Structure 1
Amino acid sequence: MTLTVAAVSANFTRDLEQNFAVVEQTLADARAAGARLVVFPEASIGGYLSSLGNHGDTAGAEPRSLPPAVRLDGPEIARVQALAGDTVVVIGFCELGEDGVTRYNAAVCLDGTRVYGSYRKVHQPLGEGASYAAGAGYRAFDTPVGRLGMQICYDKAFPEAARVLALDGAEIIVSLSAWPAARTATAQDLQEDRWTYRFNLFDSARALDNQVFWIASNQSGTFGSLRYVANSKVVDPGGNVLATTLLGAGLAVAEIDVEGTFRAMRAGMFHLRDRRPDAYGPVTAVASPTTVRREHAHA
């Protein structure tokens, strides 16, 4: 049985009405293409930070410069549900924590009747921790289109994150991003930029590592000082890119056969089955700050 999926490349800002208009039109386009699973980028509701590094939002900027923080059970998520209908949608937003103060870079998977899962970003790059608290872990969950796992942006640089989801039975891992071009020595052709290269390499590597379908969404255009590289895509368990937006806004749409592909690919070499956890002790050992500094000095 095949399933049509779509990865979204689009630009999202602080203008919530504009954001919802983009979501509505994108879902209409995706449905017209037959998509039953549509993955929007990180921070699709309210936009991402306007800068990264030791300036701007991540250096203690006033709250009004930050994305609006919304509750998982709030009207903004309910509005996405109303637009989703019977389509399974994954979308990124800034979540307001249970204490009414703490903010998380988050994602939710839902359709018009149910929230299937939510996730708070674990790995934080370039001072993002000044604007968001970190999440605590990963779990897969069942949906009408299969068992899914979610990641956000920098998470894809950590093989352990995708592996945990695969071991929890994820058949499809969705990776939402607001991934920009390099801040220095940016390539004239953004498709050749070194951060674009890394974004694409991580997507194929994580799919192949875990022999899962990988759906990567990313913002496009610009916001604040950030210039996004787009390149939303669908990758098969062999690491092959089935569809991509490259630098443009739009949809990367692909028809996938989860059961048939897994049966063919995992019949021989099955990476999860052939692991040797007894040999991986240092992977989960907590390094001391001294060890980390010493290793960084010799890198």
Structure 2
Amino acid sequence: MTTTISVAAAEFGRDMEQGYRTIGALISDAADKGSNLLVLPEACLGVYLPSLGGGDESVEARRRRLEDLPPALELDGPELARVIEMAGDMTVTLGFCEADGETRYNAAVTLTGDGILGSYRKVHQPLGENLCYAAGSEYSTFDTPVGRMGMQICYDKAFPEAARELAVGGAEIIASISAWPTSRTNTTPNMEDDRWKQRFDIYDRARALENQLIWVSSNQAGTFGSLRFVCSAKIVGPGGEILADTGIDAGLATATIDVAELVGSARGSGMYHLRDRRPSAYGSVTAPNTFEELTYA
């Protein structure tokens, strides 16, 4: 059975109503292409942070960043209910800022018109993101009309363990949603040459190949605050092959595939990446983090 997947590189801002219009237009475009699954970027509703802090951030810059946060939404709130109503029969993955009491999370949901199928709170946090969000603590997979899925957000893709956890949990499709910017320390006029764009693409292909599954990578487009996003939304097959890609432009990338056949064929082709694991030899991978001790001792 074939499944048509669309993934977006799209621009979002703080204006929630404009965000709903953009989501609605992307759902409509994906429906016109016959899509069963649409993966939207990180932080669709209310957009991302205006900048990423760090050790060189001034007190004033940090104050402005902490004052300009996206709206915090509840899983069962009216904002996501509105997207559920828009989704209809389509399976849709998108990102937002989740409120849990006074705590904020960088979060993602996968939903259909019947409701939320799965939710995720970002585990790995870059730079100063921890000043604005709490970290999530787990990866889980869930069944959808298009197959068993898992979700990641942006920086998560730099950690092979995260994708492997989802693959071992039965994921056939991983939706990796991002607000991935260009490099701020090594700028280049041609975005194709940007080193962060190149890393983004390498991670996408490597994670798909390592785990022999369908990798669907969305991203923000345009600019927000000091960030310029690399677009590069893509669908990657289980052999690491790019099936569809927006390049450095905004838009939808779409591919029609047989998920079960592609994944089954890759995992039965003589390269048994999941079967041939040797967890007993990987003790340090799950041991307490000693990076600082190793680096600075």
**TM-score w.r.t. length of structure 2:** 0.95
Structure 2 CA distance, aligned partners of 1:152 and 1:170?
16
Residue 29 of structure 2 is aligned to residue 26 of structure 1: no
- 2:63 and 2:74 map into 1 onto residues whose CA distance is 22
Task: Measure the CA separation in 2 of the matches of 1:228 and 1:297.
Answer: 33
Task: Tell me how far 1:59 sits from its aligned partner.
Answer: 3.0
Which residue matches 1:84? Answer: 87
* Aligned ranges 1:90-109 → 2 under 5 Å: 90-97=93-100, 100-109=101-110
What is the rounded CA distance, in whole Å, between the counterparts of 2:163 and 2:249 in structure 1? Answer: 26
SS of 2:217's equivalent in the other structure is strand
- The residue type paired with residue 129 of structure 2 is E
Shift of 1:296: 2.8
**2:76 and 2:131 mapped to 1: Cα distance?**
25
Report the equivalent of 1:138: 139
Question: Structure 2 counterpart of 1:149, which letter?
Answer: G
Equivalent residue of 1:9, what SS? strand
1:283 maps to which residue?
285
Give the structure 1 partner of residue 275 of structure 2.
Answer: 273
Deviations 1:76-112 (A, max 9, x none): 1001011101100000000001xx2100000000011
Q: Pick closer, same or farther for the CA change 1:185–1:283 going to 2, 3 Å.
A: same
Separation in structure 2 between the aligned mates of residue 239 and residue 200 of structure 1, nearest angstrom: 11
Gap runs ≥5 in structure 1: none
Deviations 1:261-282 (A, max 9, x none): 1232222211000111111111
Query: How many angstroms does 1:257 deviate by?
Result: 1.1
Shift of 1:50: 0.2
TM-score (norm 1): 0.95
Partner of 2:77: 74
Unaligned runs of 5+ in 2: none
Quick one: distance in 2 between partners of 1:127 and 1:206?
25
Please list, as runs of the form range in 1=range in 2, the aligned pairs for 1:153-172 lying within 5 A after superposition.
153-172=154-173
> Identity, % of aligned pairs?
56
Tell me: CA distance 1:219–1:58, structure 2 relative to 1, closer, same or farther (3 Å): farther
Cα 1:214–1:62 shift into 2, 3 Å: closer
- List per-residue Cα deviations over 1:33-82 (Å, max 9, x = no partner): 11110000000000000001234898354764100001010111001011
Partner-residue secondary structure (3-state), 1:96: strand
For residues 58 and 2 of structure 1, do their structure 2 counterparts lie closer, same or farther at Cα, with a shift above 3 Å needed?
farther
Check the 8 A contact 1:52/1:58 in 2, yes or no: no
Determine if contact 2:51/2:65 at 8 Å carries over to the other structure. Answer: no
Displacement of 1:191 after TM fit? 1.3
Count, aligned residues? 293
**1:296: which partner in 2?**
295
Give yes or no for the alignment of 1:205 onto 2:198. Answer: no
Are the structure 2 counterparts of residues 282 and 142 from structure 1 closer, same or farther at C-alpha, using a change threshold of 3 Å?
A: same
Q: Say if 2:177 and 2:217, in contact at 8 Å, map to a contact too.
A: yes
Amino acid at match of 2:34: G
| CA deviation map 1:217-248 (0-9, x unaligned) | 00000000000000000000000010011111
CA deviations over 1:148-188 (Å, ceiling 9, x no partner): 00000000000000000000000000000000000012121
Q: Distance in 1 between matches of 2:197 and 2:61?
A: 22
Shift of 1:200: 0.3
Give the aligned CA root-mean-square deviation in angstroms. 1.5
Q: Equivalents in 2 of 1:126, 1:9: separation in Å?
A: 23
Partner residue, 1:125: 126
